[in-house]
Amino acid sequence: MDLQLKNKVIIVTGGAKGIGEGIVKVLAAEGAVPVIIGRNETDNMKLVNELKGQGLKAHQLVAELTDPAAAERTVQAVLQEFGQIDGLVNNAGVNDNVGLESGNYTSFMESLHKNVVHYYLMAQSVLPSLKLSKGSIVNIGSKVADTGQGGTSAYAASNGARNALTREWAVELLPYGIRVNAVIVAECFTPLYQSWISSLPDAEVKLAGIIGKIPLGNRMTTAEEIANAVVFLLSPRSSHTTAQLVYVDGGYVHLDRAIDAVKK
């Protein structure tokens, strides 16, 4: 299926690694121009050069999105380079374990800036361009907004806000034909996930226990599977889909994780 994304300029925050990298690769394969926004130029350029080596298009900008001014600077730089913006993927963030017992006002507010404030600022900065292109926004969210996790209040609050903003923006932007959706991630193996698992006692046992509770196939979701859903939602092929929270998680959140069907 042609997703009709050829030469469409799509911003992907946190696009150099993990889920963001998966999204960038699928966008490039569809003929789009993914623009990676990340704090590490070396990581950004590694992926850009890889894609260009395959004859695909990609671009990168270095930005620290916890800086409130970074969003507007980034958007203006993209417009200066390409003259258009056709989509935004808000993806950058980190599960930083700012809990109720372990956190404080400063760490809680810092986590909100890492995980949800820049979602708002990026969407606000890109909005004039999306009005012209009738583009689309996809927010990446996490299961913790639904399930909780323990010890990560700020990240859970941020993801609850991401879900709420997705539906709020879908309503506000209806008059402009701008669609807004979210893809919700549960257990997807990324470098950040690997770091988290490795930090736990009996990491291999813990990982096996998690995988055993994923109903569909008893396996982790791949970054490419997340990316496929995101890119579809960005594309004109999903032209009547807005305000949706799409769970790409092998049934982890909504199916009973103890059902017999998960057993061999």
One DSSP character per residue, 203-235 reads HHHHHHHHHTT-TTTTSPBPHHHHHHHHHHHHS
Q: How many CA atoms does the CB half-sphere of 192 hold within 13 Å?
A: 16
C-beta of residue 129 within 8 angstroms of C-beta of residue 85: yes
C-beta of residue 68 within 8 angstroms of C-beta of residue 44: no
| Residue among 41, 11, 43 nearest 27 (CA) | 11
Candidates 155, 193, 247, 252; catalytic one: 155
Sequence letter at residue 93: G
For residue 13, the SS3 value is strand
Active site residue 155: yes
Gap between the Cα atoms of 186 and 172, Å rounded: 28
- Rounded to the nearest 5 degrees, what angle is found at the Cα of 185, between the Cα atoms of 206 and 115? 100
- Report, as residue numbers or ranges, the catalytic residues: 155
